[in-house]
Structure 1
Amino acid sequence: MTNRQIAAMETKKKLMAAAKELIREKGLANTSIAEITSRCGVANGTFYTYFKRKEDVIFALSRETYQEVLDQALIHPGTFLERLTFFAVTFTGCIENSGLKLCQEWVRNTVDPDLIENEDDRGKLAFDMQSVAKMLESGIERGELKSDTPVEVLSHTLIDVLYGQMLCWDMSGGTYGFVERTEEFCRLFLGAMMAPYMQNL
């Protein structure tokens, strides 16, 4: 990678970090591109080198964060259920730590896929389902889950739960802990949900 490419990556990271801070503080509607560029010390035009509009920053933040969540969960030590719990809790932790405003903006800008301009960003739901599917496939490969485990059905169901919890947390105005709610689900229901597919090791 050339010095120029490294510098470009650093500039994009700065823009994303500044946008994340501002959106958490003020919401997307009250954040201008000028404020984002000013906060990280670059010219306004620099923003458009990396993003077409400010909504695109939210999608970029989302893609980067949740790939890291999957990568960490796949190598997390412990049993299959411990790794899956780690994935679910870390997933929701990233959302809660990003702040209610950022989460609400993300939901607002992704509910209608036709409004998303970048094709990569249209597939966030599919990406999250595929992430859970990879967790399940890893469990099968390690001999922790039965080979006939219904990967597609289970991945859809788990993401339905996490997205449903996220929407309820949004609609409540963040009046309870999103991570706590996920930990409660994992503690009370995840084991029973996965029990029919676990190998007797």
Structure 2
Amino acid sequence: MGLTRKEQAARSRQKLLDAACELIRKNGYDATSISDITQACGMSPGNFYNYFKSKEDLILAIEREPYDSFFDELEKISDQATINQLCNYIKYYVDIAVNKFGVGYNRQWYAQHMRPREDLEKPTKLEITINECRQILTHGVQSGELAHNTPVEDLSEYIAFELHGMNICHIMSEGTFDAMAWTDKYCAYVENVMLKPYFVH
């Protein structure tokens, strides 16, 4: 049985997303044209506009896919110790930022998010990151692993700020900053400094 029209459209859209992410990661945003993207998918440039309004619109669509899956990842590791959940989350975040997106995409992603926002009710990526960290830490408090006086809100913000700071350092260094090595050190810092006072023994 063949694909339905809706399934074909979803597959074509995904091809555009995957091709654009790879081309932008390798060549940078400015050096990647809509024609380059559609050619990589075996489509005509006109097909692009069936799915996206512009190349800028495509950037935001690329972003949403893996980061939206964070909540699925959190569900998969919800039975693990809080520090393991948090470190797995941090490593997952960095892996996407560095290995999936890379400098070329991330540079444009931040440029997009520095512009005035049209939809003020929609949460920013920073707010989403804070919320995901908050979800893990709140679960730790509720499960009794972390003390009730754990400053969940402050810690969630600190971790989110550090993750975005890491990404900016990776961009500014043109990818020479070793984000993966930083991740291991940062996870140790989160466990042994940030959360240590609040672990319930």
TM-score normalised per structure 2: 0.87
Residue equivalent to 2:97: 95
Residue equivalent to 1:153: 154
Distance in 1 between residues matched to 2:137 and 2:12, nearest whole Å: 36
Which stretch of structure 1 is more off in the superposition, 70-79 or 14-23?
A: 70-79
Q: Deviations over 1:19-70 (max 9, x none)?
A: 0111012111111111111111223222222211112222212211112234
Percentage identity across aligned positions? 32
Residue equivalent to 1:105: 108
Q: Are the aligned partners of 2:169 and 2:177 in contact in 1 as well (CA < 8 Å)?
A: no
Deviation at 1:94, TM superposition (A): 0.7
Trace 1:8-157 onto structure 2 (pairs within 5 A): 8-76=9-77, 78-97=80-99, 98-112=101-115, 114=116, 123-157=124-158
The alignment's C-alpha RMSD in Å is: 2.2
- Give the gaps of 5 or more residues in structure 1: none
Q: Are the aligned partners of 1:20 and 1:102 in contact in 2 as well (CA < 8 Å)?
A: yes
Q: Are the aligned partners of 2:19 and 2:41 in contact in 1 as well (CA < 8 Å)?
A: yes
Greater helix proportion: 1
Counterpart amino acid of residue 37 in structure 2: I
Change beyond 3 A, Cα 1:169–1:16: same
Q: Are the aligned partners of 1:129 and 1:156 in contact in 2 as well (CA < 8 Å)?
A: yes
2:135 partner SS: helix
Residue equivalent to 1:196: 197
Which stretch of structure 1 is more off in the superposition, 155-164 or 48-57?
A: 48-57
Distance in 1 between residues matched to 2:125 and 2:43, nearest whole Å: 29
Q: Are the aligned partners of 1:73 and 1:84 in contact in 2 as well (CA < 8 Å)?
A: no
Distance in 1 between residues matched to 2:76 and 2:198, nearest whole Å: 21
Deviation at 1:71, TM superposition (A): 2.2
1:149 partner SS: coil
1:99 partner SS: helix
Distance in 2 between residues matched to 1:27 and 1:143, nearest whole Å: 46
Distance in 1 between residues matched to 2:119 and 2:39, nearest whole Å: 25
Distance in 1 between residues matched to 2:123 and 2:92, nearest whole Å: 22
Change beyond 3 A, Cα 1:85–1:96: same
Change beyond 3 A, Cα 1:3–1:38: same
TM-score normalised per structure 1: 0.87
Q: How many matched pairs?
A: 197
Q: Are the aligned partners of 1:162 and 1:182 in contact in 2 as well (CA < 8 Å)?
A: no
- Give the gaps of 5 or more residues in structure 2: none
